Amino acid sequence: MATKPKKEKEQGKERTAAAAPGAFTRHLEEIAAILEWFDSQEELDIEKALEKVKQASTLIKESRTRLGELENEFEEIKAGIEGDQ
């Protein structure tokens, strides 16, 4: 059985994660929480900051991918509604 290339596999994993019910909303909430953490730091804890940056980058990337999927779905629905007029 052929295996998927690693990147596609990882991308597939990312899609699956963001596509789970409620995941997109949770991702946005987590991103907001990270930004709030940065705002609240008088003295930045470098190690924590690095960790949070990494976390946030992953969340942002997944969310953008999911947003793209949602937008495509919406375009299809919109085409269907406008076609009924």
* Region near other proteins per CB under 8 A, out of 1-9, 14-22, 71-79: 71-79
Nearer to other proteins (CB atom), residue 2 or residue 71: 71
Which residue in this structure is represented by tokens 């299809």?
76
CA–CA separation, 46 vs 34, rounded Å? 14
* Residue 63 in contact with other proteins, rule: CB under 8 A: yes
Q: Which residues bind other proteins (CB under 8 A)?
A: 28, 31-32, 34-35, 38, 44, 46-47, 49-50, 53, 56-57, 60, 63-64, 67, 70-71, 74, 78, 81-82, 85
